[in-house]
Structure 1
Amino acid sequence: MRTMKSVLTGAENKIDVVEVERPTPGPQDALVRIRACGICGTDTFFLHLGGMPTGADGSTRAIPLGHEPAGEVVEVGARVTGLAVGDRVVVNPQGAPSGIIGCGGDLGGMDEYLLIQDAEIGRNVAVFPDDVPFDVAALNEPMAVARHCVNRSEAKPSDKVVVFGAGPIGLGAAIWLKLRGVEHVVVADVIPERLETALSVGADAVINSATEDVTERLTELHGQAANALGQPRAGTDIYIDAAGAPAVFQAAVDSAKWKAKLVMVAVQKKSDAIDLGGMLRSELTLIASQGYPTEIFEVTPELAAHKDRFARLISHRVPFSEVDRAFELALTPGAAEKVVVTFDE
């Protein structure tokens, strides 16, 4: 029996690296040797819980982790078309019949090999060029999340936008906004190093919201406008919340001019401190953004075309032999921006 290493949820905030049987592809499947896989906040969410919740009693079960993989095709089923051994690929983790890869399904992208069930180009797998590093290709899934958020905003070149949160999704949104031709993009965060990264990937300005008044700075950068009652407000057209903190939501409400938009892409932390009534004073439009209904492979060619720019989002590249350290970094607030686990050649 051929085996491989698989990363599972272990005890609370711990992983288990176990030896499991290596998948054997059927006639409609492909087998991918994983070469890089990013760690997402969803992975750490399951680690905090100690696995996938299974009942009201708080019980959990261990699950394979990782839904941001990139790798190389090593076996192809007889009925699969368009794929060949040696192709470098990214996958759609929501395209597996057995459940979402790395999020409760039977398969995990942080395994040495990943079975692509019912492999079909453009549906659950896409090929990327040989000159794109595997670690950058592993950003495909989170950059699809960021792209959907920008698409939901319907940002126009003439718009002025602020992105709250300079993590991978927020920075990805900033990149997509600039590639879309948006006139002025500001990124706000509380960590200076992340703000430096924001400027390096093309943000026009940054705001340290721990030390600066957000409304005042936005007014300086985007001019002065008014809300529905004629009260002075910043001239910002679109607010993107990639942070999920109640203070961010409230900052947008406090700053918003008449008919501004707020796009929510981060998972929101519950709070009673948000003044929803304040939205009336600006007729603020709230738009929710979830996942990537169409964007998962729409982003792949542009990710390849701008690979050096997207590479700046990766703060740590950790070899699979040190995967425990990789997850420790991801679990430590402020220790890393984006951790990608790399697999041996």
Structure 2
Amino acid sequence: MATMKSVKTGAKNEIDVVDVERPTPGPRDALVRIRACGICGTDTFFLHLGGTPVGADGSIRSLPLGHEPAGEIVEVGAEVSELKVGDRVVVNPQGVPCGIIGCGGAHGAMSEYLLIEEAQVGRNLAVFPDHVPFDVAALNEPMAVARHCVNRSEAGTGDKVVVFGAGPIGLGATIWLKLRGVEHVVVVDIIPERLRTALAVGADAVVNSAEENVTERLTELHGQAANALGQPRAGTDIYIDAAGASAVFQAAVDSAKWGAKMVMVAVQKKSDAIDLGGMLRSELTLIASQGYPTEIFEVTAELAEHYERFAQLISHRVPFADVEQAFSLAMTPGAAEKVVVTF
């Protein structure tokens, strides 16, 4: 029996690297040799739990990790006509019948090989050009999340936008906003290194909210407007929350002009410190953004075209032999921005 290495949740805040049987594709399946896989906040969430809850009693089971893969086809079933051995591919984790890859499904992409059942280009796989490094291609899934957020915002060329949170999703949203021609994009964070990256990928300005008053800076950058009561507010049209902190939400409420929009893409931490009543004073429209209903492969061609720009989002490239170090980096606040494991 051929085996492979695979990563799954272990004890709380730990991973297990295990030997499992290497999958054998059926007639409609494809086998992908993983060459790079990103680590996401969802992965670290499962690690904090020690797995995923199952059943009414809330018991925890271990699960295979990894849902941001890029790799190459090494075997295809007899009935697969759109793919060939050697194709470089990215994967839709939600497009397979055995459950979401790396998020409770039977398979995880933080493995040497990944079985794609019912393999179909455009549904669960997309081919990308040879000139794109595998580590950058592995950003396809999170950049689809960022793209959906921008799509939900309906930002146009004349809009003035602020993005809170210069992690991978916030920076990805910044890139997509600028690629669609949005006039002015500000990025807000408290970590100077992240703000430098924001400028490098195209942000027009940055604000360190630990040192500066966000509302005052946005007014300087986007001009002065008013809320529904005529009170002075920043001229920002769209707020994107890629941070998930109550202080961010409140900063948007405090700054919003009449008719502004706020797109919430970050997972929100529960808090009683948010004045929802303040939204009335601006008629602030709150828009939630979850996942990528259509965007998972819509982004692939542009990601390939602008791969050098997206490459700047990766702070650490760690070989699979050191995968425990990679997860340690990802779980340590402030230690890394985007960690990609290479194979």
- TM-score, length-normalised on structure 1? 0.99
Q: How far apart are residue 96 of structure 1 and its match?
A: 1.2
Specify the alignment match of 2:131 in structure 1: 131
**Quick one: which amino acid aligns to residue 86 of structure 1?**
G
1:38 aligns with 2:42: no
User: After superposition, what is the alpha-carbon deviation per residue over 1:124-157, rounded to whole angstroms, capped at 9, x for unaligned?
Assistant: 0000000000000000000000000000000000
Q: Any residues of structure 2 matched to 1:1-345 within 5 Å, and which? A: 1-343=1-343
In structure 1, what is the Cα distance between the partners aligned to 2:222 and 2:56?
Answer: 49
In structure 2, what is the Cα distance between the partners aligned to 1:295 and 1:338?
Answer: 21
**Quick one: which amino acid aligns to residue 205 of structure 1?**
A
Q: How far apart are residue 81 of structure 1 and its match?
A: 1.7
The runs of 5 or more residues in structure 1 that have no matched partner are: none
SS in 1 for 2:176: helix
**Quick one: which amino acid aligns to residue 249 of structure 1?**
F
User: After superposition, what is the alpha-carbon deviation per residue over 1:154-185, rounded to whole angstroms, capped at 9, x for unaligned?
Assistant: 00000000000000000000000000000000
Q: How far apart are residue 58 of structure 1 and its match?
A: 3.9
In structure 2, what is the Cα distance between the partners aligned to 1:57 and 1:316?
Answer: 38
Q: How far apart are residue 56 of structure 1 and its match?
A: 4.8
In structure 2, what is the Cα distance between the partners aligned to 1:110 and 1:91?
Answer: 13
SS in 1 for 2:136: helix
**Quick one: which amino acid aligns to residue 85 of structure 1?**
V
In structure 2, what is the Cα distance between the partners aligned to 1:184 and 1:196?
Answer: 17
Q: How far apart are residue 341 of structure 1 and its match?
A: 0.1
Number of residue pairs the alignment of both structures matches: 343
In structure 1, what is the Cα distance between the partners aligned to 2:292 and 2:255?
Answer: 29
In structure 2, what is the Cα distance between the partners aligned to 1:17 and 1:340?
Answer: 17
In structure 2, what is the Cα distance between the partners aligned to 1:318 and 1:52?
Answer: 25
In structure 2, what is the Cα distance between the partners aligned to 1:168 and 1:56?
Answer: 34
User: After superposition, what is the alpha-carbon deviation per residue over 1:282-309, rounded to whole angstroms, capped at 9, x for unaligned?
Assistant: 0000000000000000000000000000
In structure 2, what is the Cα distance between the partners aligned to 1:80 and 1:120?
Answer: 8
**Quick one: which amino acid aligns to residue 139 of structure 1?**
L
The runs of 5 or more residues in structure 2 that have no matched partner are: none
In structure 1, what is the Cα distance between the partners aligned to 2:252 and 2:55?
Answer: 37
In structure 2, what is the Cα distance between the partners aligned to 1:200 and 1:311?
Answer: 11
In structure 2, what is the Cα distance between the partners aligned to 1:81 and 1:313?
Answer: 35
**Quick one: which amino acid aligns to residue 24 of structure 1?**
T
CA RMSD in angstroms comes to: 0.5
In structure 2, what is the Cα distance between the partners aligned to 1:23 and 1:223?
Answer: 58
In structure 1, what is the Cα distance between the partners aligned to 2:304 and 2:14?
Answer: 34
SS in 1 for 2:233: strand
In structure 2, what is the Cα distance between the partners aligned to 1:300 and 1:136?
Answer: 11
**Quick one: which amino acid aligns to residue 243 of structure 1?**
A
SS in 2 for 1:95: coil
In structure 2, what is the Cα distance between the partners aligned to 1:196 and 1:23?
Answer: 43
Q: How far apart are residue 82 of structure 1 and its match?
A: 1.0
User: After superposition, what is the alpha-carbon deviation per residue over 1:220-276, rounded to whole angstroms, capped at 9, x for unaligned?
Assistant: 000000000000000000000000000000000000000000000000000011000
User: After superposition, what is the alpha-carbon deviation per residue over 1:186-235, rounded to whole angstroms, capped at 9, x for unaligned?
Assistant: 00001000000000000000000111100000000000000000000000
In structure 2, what is the Cα distance between the partners aligned to 1:58 and 1:118?
Answer: 32
User: After superposition, what is the alpha-carbon deviation per residue over 1:56-93, rounded to whole angstroms, capped at 9, x for unaligned?
Assistant: 54421010000000000000011112100000000000
In structure 2, what is the Cα distance between the partners aligned to 1:141 and 1:227?
Answer: 37
**Quick one: which amino acid aligns to residue 242 of structure 1?**
A
In structure 2, what is the Cα distance between the partners aligned to 1:15 and 1:53?
Answer: 17
In structure 2, what is the Cα distance between the partners aligned to 1:105 and 1:210?
Answer: 40
**Quick one: which amino acid aligns to residue 237 of structure 1?**
D
In structure 2, what is the Cα distance between the partners aligned to 1:216 and 1:208?
Answer: 12
In structure 2, what is the Cα distance between the partners aligned to 1:125 and 1:96?
Answer: 10
In structure 2, what is the Cα distance between the partners aligned to 1:78 and 1:56?
Answer: 42
In structure 2, what is the Cα distance between the partners aligned to 1:195 and 1:109?
Answer: 30
In structure 1, what is the Cα distance between the partners aligned to 2:193 and 2:55?
Answer: 41
In structure 2, what is the Cα distance between the partners aligned to 1:114 and 1:291?
Answer: 22
User: After superposition, what is the alpha-carbon deviation per residue over 1:85-107, rounded to whole angstroms, capped at 9, x for unaligned?
Assistant: 00000000000101000000000
SS in 2 for 1:303: helix
